[in-house]
């Protein structure tokens, strides 16, 4: 089922420019839809691909015979017999098998298209569906990827380049010399047929084509509400909250990981970057238990409700008689600050039991804006009835530790999280925080880190059998990747 935003292009703001970063689609391919196909490019493609386009009914038998003769004379395939309508049909059914059955499907589909649509409508569909290499469908996606421009902003040389690679984009884009030879052939041919002037042709031949190769990703529909700042239905455009610098960072972080990862970044509770090995919707819809990442919230609640800095709790056993795994044992008795720093489960269970488990769970429900029934006693250890998304986790941190509403307990908590940051990442920096958590037998590892300006939430999946460490090199990757983001300043002010 199509959504109202399918085919919309997602832009982010960079200084005074808007940069295209994705297309709303449920498929891997980016098919950016547009009604703004310049008339000149329609004329060009008819002249180049299908001169009898306006005279046939989808199948050009004269063209097929002519192509067959030319191919026999050349001893190889030098011409194709497919009409524009057949090419559209092939792109719709997405079948390139060189079989008689596929050709029959293509012909049948082409006849259906001709009966249903006018010639102008067919050209519009063609330019929206035609494949342009990579994960790109349609001339709008191609223009945004290769030149970072909307179709109506493309120069004539840029349009001719796209037409040059049209017949076999994956072949041409890796063979620039052959591509430019075809580009010049097309320009000369259009001049010869008086579709462009001599001076225009000369300019085309002298022009150096500069490709941008701007990364575009397919963005699932469910993601759109989380990143939308402004929607332009007429232009099929979404201006997002995404920051290009952090978006590139998120994509690179995922690319550098040997395991599947998801990452999301928030600034002032707005999503400024997101990526996942499992699809763009994953950080927003996939729910799981989040382990020890809930402990900072619990620390603040327990401190605010009567637990002193110095009161110690049993770190080996708990009053609920649960068997609880610990990362390691340091002391038999820990105060809350030590329990948070060492991520000790028993101490937190005992402190929550003293304050009141039921009231503690109500507090967690408020932090995550959930019903109280979704939290039960084991939620103190990070388990919830329906799970928590990576986005919800990032939002909870971003909201809870807003610099304008810091309490004494939150300042204490951030101080401890800063010590964890320094110890685990070895960054000599102040006022940054880090909390990690593991669940599902260490197959899911979470990390929440940031400063007064930014909050990052990361999830790494699929711990390999031979990767026996609790964090499995996760901290090493974070340390190397995030050093560039945090090294520029050591004075992120919370208050």
Task: Using pLDDT thresholds of 50, 70 and 90, give the confidence band for residue 61.
Answer: low
Instruction: Please tell me the distance from the alpha carbon of residue 179 to that of residue 174, in angstroms, as a whole number.
Output: 9
The pLDDT of residue 329: 81
The alpha helices in 215-281, defined as continuous H runs, are 224-227, 244-256
- List beta partners, residue 276: 262
Task: Using pLDDT thresholds of 50, 70 and 90, give the confidence band for residue 446.
Answer: very high
**CATH code for the domain defined by 27-206:** 1.10.3810.10
Percent of the chain with pLDDT over 90: 72
Site of tokens 């004329």:
43
Q: Which tokens hold the place of 87?
A: 């090419």
User: Tens digits of per-residue pLDDT, 175-192?
Assistant: 999 999 999 999 999 999
Residue 317: strand, helix, or coil: coil
Rounded alpha-carbon distances, angstroms, from residue 201 to 46, 190, 239, 386, 478: 18, 8, 37, 64, 53
> Between β-strands 217-219 and 17-24, what pairing exists: parallel, antiparallel or unpaired?
parallel
Percent of the chain with pLDDT over 70: 91
The pLDDT of residue 218: 95
Any idea which of 16-20, 297-301, 327-331, 444-448 has the lowest mean pLDDT? 327-331
Instruction: Please tell me the distance from the alpha carbon of residue 200 to that of residue 4, in angstroms, as a whole number.
Output: 40
- List beta partners, residue 162: none
Site of tokens 């009898």:
52
The alpha helices in 75-232, defined as continuous H runs, are 84-93, 100-116, 119-129, 139-146, 156-165, 169-172, 176-192, 198-206, 224-227
The pLDDT of residue 82: 84
Any idea which of 156-160, 385-389, 424-428 has the lowest mean pLDDT? 424-428
Q: Which tokens hold the place of 330?
A: 């340091």
Q: Can you tell me the mean pLDDT for 47-54?
A: 91
- Residue 247's nearest CA partner among 225, 270, 221, 230 is 270
Q: Can you tell me the mean pLDDT for 153-160?
A: 96
Rounded alpha-carbon distances, angstroms, from residue 381 to 290, 322, 325, 385: 9, 11, 10, 12
* Contact (CB, 8 A) for 124 and 35: yes
End-to-end CA distance of the chain: 49
More confident residue, 265 or 444: 265
Cβ neighbourhood burial of 304 (10 Å; 0-12, 13-18, 19+)? middle
More confident residue, 352 or 329: 352
- Topology agreement, domain 27-206 and domain 248-486: no
DSSP output for 2-24: --TTTTPEEEEEETTEEEEEEEE
The pLDDT of residue 336: 97
Say whether pLDDT at 76 is over 60. no
User: Tens digits of per-residue pLDDT, 311-351?
Assistant: 999 999 999 999 988 877 889 999 999 999 999 999 999 99
The pLDDT of residue 37: 92
Say whether pLDDT at 491 is over 60. no
The pLDDT of residue 71: 47
Say whether pLDDT at 74 is over 70. no
Q: Can you tell me the mean pLDDT for 186-215?
A: 96
* Contact (CB, 8 A) for 199 and 187: no
How many of the other CB atoms lie within 10 Å of CB of 28? 9
* Contact (CB, 8 A) for 142 and 170: no
Instruction: Please tell me the distance from the alpha carbon of residue 438 to that of residue 133, in angstroms, as a whole number.
Output: 40
* Contact (CB, 8 A) for 346 and 318: yes
- Residue 450's nearest CA partner among 474, 417, 426, 481 is 417
Say whether pLDDT at 472 is over 70. no
The pLDDT of residue 220: 96
Say whether pLDDT at 427 is over 80. yes
Q: Can you tell me the mean pLDDT for 44-48?
A: 94
The pLDDT of residue 495: 54
Would you tell me the crossing angle of helices 119-129 and 100-116 to the nearest 10 degrees? 130
- Residue 383's nearest CA partner among 409, 413, 345 is 345
Q: Which tokens hold the place of 400?
A: 């809870």
Cβ neighbourhood burial of 203 (10 Å; 0-12, 13-18, 19+)? middle
Any idea which of 159-168, 230-239, 435-444 has the lowest mean pLDDT? 435-444
Q: Can you tell me the mean pLDDT for 224-243?
A: 96
Say whether pLDDT at 2 is over 70. no
SS3 letters for 118-157?
CHHHHHHHHHHHCECCCCEECHHHHHHHHCCCCHHHCCHH
The pLDDT of residue 439: 80
More confident residue, 15 or 39: 39
* Nearest 10 degrees: Cα torsion 330, 334, 339, 342: -10
Q: Can you tell me the mean pLDDT for 114-133?
A: 95
**CATH code for the domain defined by 248-486:** 3.40.710.10
Q: Can you tell me the mean pLDDT for 277-294?
A: 95
DSSP output for 253-308: HHHH-SS-EEEEEEETTEEEEEEETT-TTHHHH-EE--GGGGHHHHHHHHHHTT--
- Residue 246's nearest CA partner among 274, 283, 270, 219 is 274
Q: What value does the mean pLDDT of the chain take?
A: 89
Say whether pLDDT at 201 is over 60. yes
Q: Can you tell me the mean pLDDT for 201-225?
A: 95
**DSSP, res 228:** E
More confident residue, 292 or 69: 292
SS3 letters for 422-442?
HHHHCCCCCCCEEEEEEECCC
User: Tens digits of per-residue pLDDT, 379-397?
Assistant: 999 999 999 999 999 999 9
* 85 alpha-carbon distance from chain centroid: 33
Site of tokens 């060009």:
44
Say whether pLDDT at 359 is over 50. yes
**What are the backbone dihedrals phi and psi of residue 385, each rounded to the nearest 5 degrees, phi first?**
-60, -45
* Contact (CB, 8 A) for 128 and 31: yes
Task: Using pLDDT thresholds of 50, 70 and 90, give the confidence band for residue 79.
Answer: very low
Residue-range domain boundaries for the chain: 27-206, 248-486
The pLDDT of residue 1: 47
* Contact (CB, 8 A) for 406 and 433: no
**What are the backbone dihedrals phi and psi of residue 348, each rounded to the nearest 5 degrees, phi first?**
-70, -40
């Amino acid at each position: 089922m199509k959504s109202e935003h399918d085919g919309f292009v997602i832009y982010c703001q960079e200084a005074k420019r808007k940069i295209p970063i994705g297309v709303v689609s449920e498929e891997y391919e980016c098919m950016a839809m547009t009604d703004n196909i310049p008339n000149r490019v329609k004329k060009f493609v008819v002249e180049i691909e299908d001169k009898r386009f306006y005279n046939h009914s989808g199948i050009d038998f004269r063209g097929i015979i002519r192509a067959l003769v030319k191919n026999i004379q050349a001893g190889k395939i030098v011409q194709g017999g497919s009409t524009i309508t057949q090419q559209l049909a092939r792109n719709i059914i997405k079948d390139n098998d060189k079989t008689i059955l596929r050709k029959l499907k293509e012909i049948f589909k082409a006849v259906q298209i001709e009966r249903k649509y006018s010639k102008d409508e067919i050209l519009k569909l063609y330019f929206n569906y035609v494949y342009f290499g990579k994960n790109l469908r349609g001339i709008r996606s191609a223009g945004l990827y290769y030149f970072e421009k909307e179709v109506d902003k493309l120069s004539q040389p840029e349009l001719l380049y796209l037409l040059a690679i049209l017949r076999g984009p994956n072949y041409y884009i890796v063979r620039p010399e052959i591509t430019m030879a075809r580009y010049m052939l097309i320009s000369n041919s259009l001049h010869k047929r008086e579709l462009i002037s001599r001076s225009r042709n000369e300019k085309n031949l002298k022009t150096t084509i500069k490709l941008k190769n701007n990364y575009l990703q397919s963005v699932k529909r469910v993601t759109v509400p989380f990143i939308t700042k402004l929607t332009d239905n007429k232009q099929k455009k979404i201006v997002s909250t995404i920051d290009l610098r952090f978006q590139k960072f998120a994509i690179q972080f995922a690319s550098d990981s040997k395991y599947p990862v998801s990452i999301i970044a928030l600034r002032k509770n707005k999503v400024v970057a997101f990526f996942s090995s499992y699809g763009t919707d994953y950080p927003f819809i996939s729910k799981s238990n989040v382990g020890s990442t809930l402990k900072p919230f619990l620390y603040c609640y327990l401190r605010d409700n009567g637990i002193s800095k110095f009161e110690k709790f049993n770190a080996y056993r708990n009053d609920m008689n649960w068997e609880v795994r610990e990362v390691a044992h340091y002391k038999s008795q820990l105060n809350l600050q030590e329990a948070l720093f060492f991520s000790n489960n028993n101490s937190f269970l005992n402190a929550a039991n003293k304050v009141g488990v039921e009231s503690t769970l109500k507090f967690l429900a408020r932090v995550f804006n959930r019903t109280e029934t979704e939290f039960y006693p084991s939620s103190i250890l990070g388990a919830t009835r329906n799970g928590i998304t990576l986005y919800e986790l990032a939002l909870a941190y971003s909201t809870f530790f807003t610099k304008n509403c810091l309490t004494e307990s939150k300042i204490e908590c951030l101080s401890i999280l800063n010590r964890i940051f320094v110890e685990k990442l070895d960054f000599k920096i102040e006022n940054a925080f880090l909390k990690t958590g593991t669940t599902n037998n260490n197959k899911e590892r979470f990390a929440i880190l940031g400063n007064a300006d930014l909050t990052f939430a990361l999830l790494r999946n699929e711990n390999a059998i031979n990767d026996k460490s609790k964090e499995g090199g996760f901290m090493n990757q974070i340390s190397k990747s995030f050093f560039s983001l945090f090294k520029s300043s050591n004075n992120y002010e919370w208050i």
